[in-house]
Structure 1
Amino acid sequence: MNESIFPLEPTPAEAQLAIKDEFGFFSDWSERYQYLIDLGRKLPPFPEEWKTEEHRLLGCQSLVWIVPQGDADRLDFNAISDSAIVSGLIYLALRVYSGRPAAEILATQPDYIADIGLAKHLSPTRSNGLAAILAFIQDTARNHA
């Protein structure tokens, strides 16, 4: 996959700032959750043949599949969940990290999580799932760096 469906800001920091700005438009968490659900619906179709145990991400209560492609110069991630909110969390993570060089991924902390208040508003199981997604992305980058 060479084309990213995510708005590819020039840097991960700019992607995180854009996410912070977007979430700043909403006055309460019910609106932010709805926005997360809407973002999750924007994930590209995920091939059924990729929904295997090999691509299943462990550590998530929901079913999550993630497939990395590329090399040290550019890593793309395709992912999907059976949970609408988790799909939105995936969208945000891929917006920051997918389509980037491995070194850039490794140098980028997921500051957007605290910036938009996700850390305080996710259930423990969703927080664990988000941590598993981010760890997978970092581990993949580390293995390609």
Structure 2
Amino acid sequence: MKSIGRFIALTVSSAVLLAVPAVAQAAPAQPAERATKFTTIKTWSGAKQQACKKSTPNGKSWKVVTRVVNGRQAEVGVGLIVWKGEKEIDRASTPIVNKGVTSKPVSVKIRKNDRSYRLEAFQYQGQMGDGGTLKLKKLRRC
């Protein structure tokens, strides 16, 4: 009688051990963070500079977020600069990322509805760079 009980106990525990990984794989994934809807603002040397904007908590400024989705041609970095007239107010840039890599996003803040502020995007490889003024109304909300 003892051997039958042991046999059943071993069979049940083996079945449980085999079922646990299968249940873990079948479990639904955790909900992902809300997808960020980036706009591609510039393609340069096989890389895409993407950006989006979101309102700050006080509602007076935009937080503009950028990243580089690097293609397979060169190592590239990107960034944003906020100008008020000829004075630089804020700057953020990604490091140069390898081919096939997407950088972590970086951001700057710019006042809403104040035409004295200008947003500029730039892309670079080592010492060489490119860029230009960016219109906020062309960016999607994050």
Q: Report the TM range for the smaller structure's normalisation.
A: 0.3 to 0.5
Instruction: Give the TM-score, by structure 1 length.
Output: 0.32
Instruction: Give the TM-score, by structure 2 length.
Output: 0.32
More helix by share: 1
The answer to which structure, 1 or 2, has the higher relative contact order (CA under 8 A, 6+ apart) is: 1
